[in-house]
Structure 1
Amino acid sequence: MNNKILIIIPVLAVIVVAMLVLQNTISDYDVVAVRDQSFYSDAIKIDDVIIDVQIADTVVKRDRGLMFQEQMPYDQGMLFIYEELGNYAFWMYNMGFSLDIIWFDENGNTVHIKRDVPPCSTEPEYCDVYDPGAKALYVFEATAGFADRFGITEDSKFSWIVDKTS
């Protein structure tokens, strides 16, 4: 009996230590992966407004979004691109400024606008989640006031542009 205990205790200790190391490694990797994402840029139009956007087109980039960034001028934003239509909800964890969030369908039609969404300054589990209540393929985030400043409404349309002068 004592021999079994002498074997079981070290084995359990090794398993516990391995689990703790693995958990810390995964947590550290997630933080680094989220913070170190770089985004490529493109230009879009919403109605007649030309906007330079950072593109978030991977899971990690979409998870990071505009976290850890400073407030942007009104002619800049972030465009989240998804692989398929879905009901994509957003939150404001680790954000430093308020946003306008606009959801678009596969044809560029506005399906929902949420104006002046405040940052979440609490623990993640207490952050509000903003759900469009409709399916979208693209989601655009800009500094709060963007939609009102440029008259963006539920009738507005998003499109890609190649030449910023058009």
Structure 2
Amino acid sequence: MQPIKAVALVSLLAAGGCATGGQPWVELAGHRYQVEIADDDAERARGLMFRDELARDHGMLFIHDVEEPQAYWMKNTRIPLDILYFDDARRLVSQQRDVPPCALGDGCPPYPSEAPARYVLELNAGEAARLKLENGAQLTFSADIPQP
């Protein structure tokens, strides 16, 4: 069994981590979200930490080097999130909905994927329910999102 990595849920400034000057987007269940990209260890470790809000129709897309079991936590994350895990084919394989903020530092619990994942999309809590997401949903990327 592969070890599950715990990755801090944190964030970049809007300009950080983008492949181009434009704002990349993803589309899920017919809805488009502007996303910030976290595609290296430092960006994935920072994620959405210390944010007081996440704009409506925005999110953060984490891109991992390989598809494997993932686990995220809410250390220093101040806003509730939906954490959505996608495989190499960008199919939804696991969901952690309405994950609460955590101020316990290293005592924050992990929220693991139920299957190996390469992409993780964090959205405001409640988005997965609003979209009525089911595993198998397809994630579409704008052309400026880097592909490993």
Which structure has the higher relative contact order (CA within 8 Å, separation 6+)? 2
For normalisation by structure 2, the TM-score amounts to 0.80
CA contact (8 A) 1:74 1:146 kept: no
* 1:139 counterpart = 2:120: yes
1:102-127 Cα deviation digits (max 9, x unpaired): 00001111000110001111131x11
1:48-72 Cα deviation digits (max 9, x unpaired): 1111000000100000000012321
For structure 1, list consecutive stretches of 5 or more residues without a partner in the other structure.
1-33
For normalisation by structure 1, the TM-score amounts to 0.72
Q: Which amino acid aligns with 2:137?
A: S
Q: How does 1:1-166 map to 2 (within 5 A)?
A: 38-40=16-18, 41-124=23-106, 126-162=107-143
| Matched position secondary structure for 1:71 | coil
- Give, in whole Å, the separation in 2 of the partners of 1:129 and 1:138: 17
Identity of aligned residues (%): 34
For structure 2, list consecutive stretches of 5 or more residues without a partner in the other structure.
1-10
Larger Rg: 1
- Give, in whole Å, the separation in 1 of the partners of 2:89 and 2:82: 20
Structure having the higher strand fraction is 2
CA contact (8 A) 1:100 1:144 kept: yes
CA contact (8 A) 1:50 1:75 kept: yes
Q: Alpha-carbon deviation of 1:135?
A: 0.5
Count of residues in Structure 1 that have an aligned counterpart in Structure 2: 129
1:2-61 Cα deviation digits (max 9, x unpaired): xxxxxxxxxxxxxxxxxxxxxxxxxxxxxxxx9889232411111211110000001000
CA RMSD of aligned residues (A): 2.1
CA contact (8 A) 1:42 1:53 kept: yes
Q: Alpha-carbon deviation of 1:86?
A: 1.1
